[in-house]
Amino acid sequence: MADVDTFVVKRPPISMILKLVATAVILALVVYSLDLDKLSGALSAIDWHWLVLGSAASALFVSLRIIKWRS
């Protein structure tokens, strides 16, 4: 019976669960502490062309690192 394939469900380790909970709590505290009026003013002042360019450059750099480390 040792040759029979069985489906084993692995549970995530407790440290990973604790890290996710801590991340969620910290993120909730940061969002709660934001001044939404200032945030909306800052977001409306952004030049969206630069935001798109910066996001595309960031995605390109991450993609190049992934390709570099896979080979």
pLDDT tens-digit readout, 28-68: 999 999 998 998 999 889 999 999 999 999 999 999 999 99
pLDDT of 15 reads 87
| Structure confidence at residue 11 (pLDDT) | 73
Q: Which helix (H) or strand (E) holds 22?
A: helix 14-33
Residue 3 pLDDT level (bands cut at 50, 70, 90):
low
Alpha carbon dihedral 23, 43, 48, 56, in 10-degree steps, equals -10
Instruction: Calculate mean pLDDT across residues 3-25.
Output: 80
CA–CA gap between residue 33 and residue 26 (Å, rounded): 11
What is the model's pLDDT at position 5? 58
Q: Give the chain's end-to-end CA distance (angstroms, integer).
A: 40
Both tokens assigned to 5: 């394939």
Calculate the average pLDDT of the chain.
88
What is the residue whose two structure tokens read 């993609």? Answer: 63
Structure-block tokens of residue 60: 């390109």
